[in-house]
Amino acid sequence: MAFTDAQKATIRKYLGWSPRYAQVPEQLEHENAMNSIAAFPEQQTLCEAAIVKLDAHDALMDDVISRQAADAVGTIKLRGNDEWSNWRGVGRMLSGRLASLLGASIGFDYWSTTGPDRNASWSGFGGGDNAVRHG
């Protein structure tokens, strides 16, 4: 059985792709990696496990963010930004594992603190050549 629509949306989210734009990676959408995975049940099971880990990691993000208010309290040094950086690094690793299982690329770093840059904009991921440029 192929991925559900909800699982496909989750995969796109963690790999940094949106179905809104034509620039989604061919290996993920156009070559139908998310549907053809059904021919490889063991691989699909690994992907589903990766999605569960990513969702759990993402769900705990608010807790990590709430601890970013101070680096130290008196003589006690808190994990502060190191924890935040490490947490995002683990998220990147998990997203990378999912991409590897699907043979797909990552479009935008879901775990970034800066938001989309030249790789993702209002005109599409990768700034696609099909965008209308003004000015």
In the prediction, which pLDDT does 123 show?
A: 42
Question: 47 lies in a domain?
Answer: yes
Query: pLDDT: is 20 or 125 the higher one?
Result: 20
Query: pLDDT: is 84 or 30 the higher one?
Result: 84
Mean pLDDT, rounded, for 91-113: 88
**Spatial separation of the C-alpha atoms in residues 19 and 8, rounded to whole Å:** 10
**Spatial separation of the C-alpha atoms in residues 122 and 133, rounded to whole Å:** 11
Question: 37 lies in a domain?
Answer: yes
Domain that holds residue 81: 5-118
Question: 125 lies in a domain?
Answer: no
Measured in degrees and rounded to the nearest 5, phi and psi for residue 119 equal -80, -20
Question: 135 lies in a domain?
Answer: no
Give how many domains the chain has, as a whole number.
1
In the prediction, which pLDDT does 80 show?
A: 57
pTM score above 0.95? no
Question: In DSSP terms, which residues pair with 77 in a beta bridge?
Answer: 72
Query: pLDDT: is 11 or 134 the higher one?
Result: 11
